[in-house]
Structure 1
Amino acid sequence: MRELPRKAKAVVVGGSIAGLSCAHALIAAGWEVVVLEKTGAPRAGCATGAGLGLDPLAQKILRSWLKQPGILELNTVPLTIDQNEATDGNKNRVLTRDENLNFRAAHWSDLHSLLHEALPAQTVCWGQMFLTFCISEDRTHVEVKSKAVQTGDITNIVGDLLVAADGCLSPIRQSFLPDFKLRYSGYCAWRGVLDFSDEENSDTILALKKPYPDLGKCLYFTLGQGTHTVLYELLNKRINWLWYVNQPEPELKGSSVTITVSDDMVEKMHEAAEKNWVPELVKVMRETEQPFLNVIYDGEPLDRIVWDNVALIGDAAHPTTPHGLRSTNMSILDAAVLGKCLEKWGVENLNSALQEYQSIRLPIAREQVLYSRRLGRIKQGLDLPDRKVFVPVTAREEDCEELQQKAMPSLNEIPSILVAER
C-alpha cells in the first residue's frame, strides 16, 4: 500500500485576529494547525479591542475563510466616506472628502468571534502560555513549550513551522532580534465605544448627528491644533471614538500597551476634551463607560521576518501606528500570503516558501509602517523634515492631500500569489 504524504503541522503563538487568520490560511493550504493563546476563553465583548476598519482586499480574504455567504456583511458596517476636517472646538470644517472608501467597520470582538467560530473545533488551545521554542539541529522541525495557565502543566508540541502572531511586544521576535525596541510615537490614544442601542433617539445621539451627519457610513478624522480624533459607527448602535494626545511616554507595566486608568484620569480627559472638541463629541466621551488609554508605538521596519522554521506575522512582524488602518489589514494579508506560499512550495520546500513570503511582504509592510507614522505626525502637528507643521484651521487644499486613506502606498496592490483570490 502506498504511504499517504505526511500532513505538515504549524504551531501558531497568539490567538488574536492575526493568529486566527493564520490558522485559516494554513488550514486552507492543507496544514494541521495548533494555536496557543494564553487567554482562557474567546474574548467576546472585549472592550479593549474597540473598532477597526477592513479594506477591500482584507474583506475578500475574510469571505474566502468564513465561507457562509453574507456573514461578514451582517457583522460589519460599510464605510464609504473618508472625511478629514478641522475644528476650532465650536464647529468643524471639511478639509478632504473621499466618497469611494469601500472599507467596512467591525468591532474587534465581533471579527474575532467570526474567525474563531469558522475554525475546526480544538484548533485554538485556550489558556496556554507560550514559554520557549527550539529548532532541531537538522532544521526539520521546531519544538514549542507552553504552560497551562490554570494548572501549570507543561506541554511540548512538535511542528514543522512556528508562526509568531504574538503582537508588537513579541517574545519570539525578541529571541532573534534582542536589540529591537519599539519606538514611542510621542502620543497616546484615549479610546471608547458608546453603546446607544437602548437609547437610539437619545439627545446625545441626535445631537451628534448634526456635526457628524454621515455617521453610519463615514470615517471621520477631526483635527485640532496638535491633536485629532477618529469617529465612526459600529454594528448594533455603537459609536467608536479615539482621541490622540501628545504627551511624554508613560511607563508600561506588564506586557500590554493598554494603561489602566483611574477615575481622576478620566475626569481630566473629559475636562481637556471640552477645550478641544465640539460639545456633541465631548458628551459622547462623557457618556462612554470604561474608556481606556493605549500607548502608541511602532517599530523600525525589519530586514527579515523569517528564520529557519519560524515566521513572524501581524504586529510581531511590523508594529505600526493606527492612522493608516493597517494593523488588522496587514495581519490578514500576511496570513493569506503565508498560506499560499506554503501551499505552493509544500513542506519539503519550507525554506523556499518562507523566503517567498518574506520577499512579498517586507517591502509593502515597510512602506505602510513608515507612511502610517508620517500620517500620525502630520495629524498630531509634529515635526517632519520635509514639510511644515500641519495647522488644520489654516490648511490649504494642497496641504491636505496626504491625509486621505487612499494615499497609503500599495493600498490596492494585490500580491500575484493571491490573484486567484480575486
Structure 2
Amino acid sequence: MDRRKGRAVVVGGSIAGLSCAHALIAAGWEVVVLEKTCAPPKGSPTGAGLGLDPQSQLFLHSWLASPDLLHTSTIPLEIDQNQVTDSEKKISWTLTRDESFNFRAAHWSELHSLLYKSLPSNVVLWGHQFLSFQTSHDRASVRAEAKVLQTDEVVEIVGNLLIAADGCLSAIRQHFLPHLKLRYSGYAAWRGVLDFSGNENSDTITGLRRVYPDLGKCLYFDLATGTHSVLYELQNQRINWIWYISQPELELKGNSVTMKVSNAMIQKMHEEAEMVWVPELAQVIKETKEPFINVIYDCDPLENLFWDNVVLIGDAAHPTSPHGVRSTNMSIVDAGTLGQCLERWGLNELGSALEEYQSIRLPVVSKQVLHSRRMGRIKQGLDLHDRKVFDPMMATLEECEELQQRKMPFFGYAPSPSD
C-alpha cells in the first residue's frame, strides 16, 4: 500500500474545518486550512451553545492536546426533557424525560479555541478568502485559489484533496450542484447567551433555577402552542436559550443565515416572550445582551458527498435544522470518519477512501437530516403528511415519546470504517 504523505486543502476554519485538520493530521496527511476571517475568534458575539454526543466526545478527546481539556471546558447534559408551557396560566409540566442522555454542553467559541490551539501553528491560514478551484487533468491534484485579504494578493495552494467545510451555503457544493436550493423550514430562531457571572444570586437566576431545577445537567425543550424553546446552562455561569418562531422567510444579507436585528425587533420579541413563556424564562430573554436571529434551513439529502478529489463535510454536506442536536456532531464524526478512511486506504487509493467515507456517512446523515426536520415540525406544531399536528397541551404518552432525542437514527453510535 502506498504510504506517501497526502496533502489536503480545507476550505473553512470553523469547527468542521478544524476537526478535519486534526483527523487528517492523525492519518498522516499534511493539511492547510483556508479561513477568510483574519484572526482566531476571541469570543463570538453571536456564538452560542452546542451539545456534544458521546461519539463526538471520543474524537475530540483523541485530537486535543490533553484528554482533560474537553471535560474541563464543558458541563454535562445528563437529561433530555421535553415539557409544555400553558401560556395563559403560566405553568409547565413534563411530557417526557430521559435521564441517560450523556451529552456535554459547550460554547462554540471555546470548542473552536480548544481545537485551534491543539493544531500546529502553521496549519490555518487566516485572512485567506477562498475564490475557486481546479482539478488537474489526471485527477491527481487540485489547485485552490485564495485572496489574502490584508494584501489583496491571490495565492495558489495545491493538494491531493480539497475538503469543503465552508458551511450550509457552501460555494464548493454550489459548483457541483448549481441548482440546489436550501429549504426554508417555515420558522426562524431568536437565540442568545445570558452571562450571569457575578449575579448568580439575582432574582432572575434564582427564579429560573426554581422553575428549571435541573439546569446545569439538563437539556430543556419547552413547548407551547405553535412554538418551542430550548434552554440549557453553559460553563462559567451562562444560560443558552433558543426560541423558534414561525414566520415568512426573512431576507438574508451576505453569506450567512444569521441576521443582525434592530432595537425595535428586540423590543417586540421581549413583549411576545412575556405572553408565551413563564415570567422566569421571559426575564432571562429580556436580560440577554445582543440576541440574534438564525433563519432555519435544511436541505434534502444529497446523492453524493464527493466528486473526484473534492469532498464535502459538515454543513456543506448536509445542511440540517437544529432540533436533533446534530449539526456539530455530524461535522465532527464526518471529519473523524474521513480521516480513518484516508489512513486505511492511503494516498494511492484516494478514490476508494472517499467511496468508503461516502458509503458510511451518507446513509447516516441522510436519515438524521430528515428526522431533525420532522422533530422541528412536530415541536413547532406544523403539518406533517402522516400525522395530525402535535398539540403539546393534549399530547398522548406515545406522541410525547417521539420527542426524545434518542429517537434520532444512529443516536447511540454511527458506523465507522472498522465496523
2:283 match: secondary structure: helix
Q: 8 Å contact 1:44–1:110 — kept in the other structure?
A: no
Would you say how many aligned residue pairs link Structure 1 and Structure 2?
Answer: 416
- Residue 120 of structure 1 is matched in structure 2 by 120
- Residue 22 of structure 2 is matched in structure 1 by 24
- Residue 316 of structure 2 is matched in structure 1 by 316
Q: 8 Å contact 2:364–2:414 — kept in the other structure?
A: no
Q: Unaligned stretches of 5+ in structure 1?
A: none
Cα gap change, 1:412/1:282 in structure 2, threshold over 3 Å: closer, same or farther? same
Give, in whole Å, the separation in 1 of the partners of 2:143 and 2:378: 45
Give, in whole Å, the separation in 2 of the partners of 1:176 and 1:5: 30
2:393 match: secondary structure: helix
- Residue 73 of structure 1 is matched in structure 2 by 71
Q: 8 Å contact 1:337–1:418 — kept in the other structure?
A: no
- After superposition, the C-alpha distances for 1:273-324 in whole angstroms (9 at most, x for unaligned) are 1110000000000100000000000001000010001000000000000000
Q: 8 Å contact 2:75–2:234 — kept in the other structure?
A: yes
- Residue 330 of structure 1 is matched in structure 2 by 330
1:143 match: secondary structure: strand
How much has 1:101 moved relative to structure 2?
A: 0.3
Which moves more between the two structures, 147-156 or 324-333? 147-156
- After superposition, the C-alpha distances for 1:205-229 in whole angstroms (9 at most, x for unaligned) are 0010111000000000000011000
Q: Unaligned stretches of 5+ in structure 2?
A: none
Give, in whole Å, the separation in 2 of the partners of 1:289 and 1:83: 26
1:49 match: secondary structure: coil
How much has 1:418 moved relative to structure 2?
A: 5.1
How much has 1:417 moved relative to structure 2?
A: 1.8
- Residue 287 of structure 2 is matched in structure 1 by 287
Give, in whole Å, the separation in 2 of the partners of 1:327 and 1:42: 21
- Residue 363 of structure 1 is matched in structure 2 by 363
- After superposition, the C-alpha distances for 1:322-348 in whole angstroms (9 at most, x for unaligned) are 000000000000000100100011111
Give, in whole Å, the separation in 2 of the partners of 1:286 and 1:317: 36
The amino acid across from 1:75 in the alignment is: S
Give, in whole Å, the separation in 1 of the partners of 2:181 and 2:396: 37
1:381 match: secondary structure: coil
Give, in whole Å, the separation in 2 of the partners of 1:54 and 1:61: 11
Give, in whole Å, the separation in 2 of the partners of 1:100 and 1:418: 26
- Residue 168 of structure 2 is matched in structure 1 by 168
How much has 1:399 moved relative to structure 2?
A: 1.1
1:311 match: secondary structure: strand
Aligned 1:111-260 pairs, distance under 5 A: 111-260=111-260
Give, in whole Å, the separation in 2 of the partners of 1:70 and 1:319: 31
The amino acid across from 1:43 in the alignment is: P
Give, in whole Å, the separation in 1 of the partners of 2:38 and 2:319: 25
- After superposition, the C-alpha distances for 1:342-371 in whole angstroms (9 at most, x for unaligned) are 001111111110011001000000000000
2:357 match: secondary structure: helix
Give, in whole Å, the separation in 1 of the partners of 2:191 and 2:151: 34
The amino acid across from 1:336 in the alignment is: G
Aligned 1:300-311 pairs, distance under 5 A: 300-311=300-311
How much has 1:414 moved relative to structure 2?
A: 3.6
How much has 1:67 moved relative to structure 2?
A: 3.8
Give, in whole Å, the separation in 2 of the partners of 1:21 and 1:6: 22
How much has 1:144 moved relative to structure 2?
A: 0.3
Cα gap change, 1:418/1:331 in structure 2, threshold over 3 Å: closer, same or farther? farther
Q: 8 Å contact 2:136–2:142 — kept in the other structure?
A: yes
1:144 match: secondary structure: strand
2:24 match: secondary structure: helix
Give, in whole Å, the separation in 1 of the partners of 2:156 and 2:56: 33
Q: 8 Å contact 2:4–2:347 — kept in the other structure?
A: no
- Residue 94 of structure 1 is matched in structure 2 by 94
Give, in whole Å, the separation in 2 of the partners of 1:6 and 1:335: 21
How much has 1:413 moved relative to structure 2?
A: 2.5
The amino acid across from 1:20 in the alignment is: L
TM-score, L = length of structure 1: 0.97
1:60 aligns with 2:58: yes
Give, in whole Å, the separation in 2 of the partners of 1:267 and 1:44: 28
The amino acid across from 1:370 in the alignment is: L
How much has 1:174 moved relative to structure 2?
A: 0.3
- After superposition, the C-alpha distances for 1:21-71 in whole angstroms (9 at most, x for unaligned) are 000000000000000000111113113220000001000110010140311
Which moves more between the two structures, 282-291 or 41-50? 41-50
- Residue 14 of structure 1 is matched in structure 2 by 12
- After superposition, the C-alpha distances for 1:135-187 in whole angstroms (9 at most, x for unaligned) are 00010000000001121011101100000000000000000000110000000
Give, in whole Å, the separation in 2 of the partners of 1:127 and 1:370: 35
Which moves more between the two structures, 41-50 or 108-117? 41-50
Identity of aligned residues (%): 66
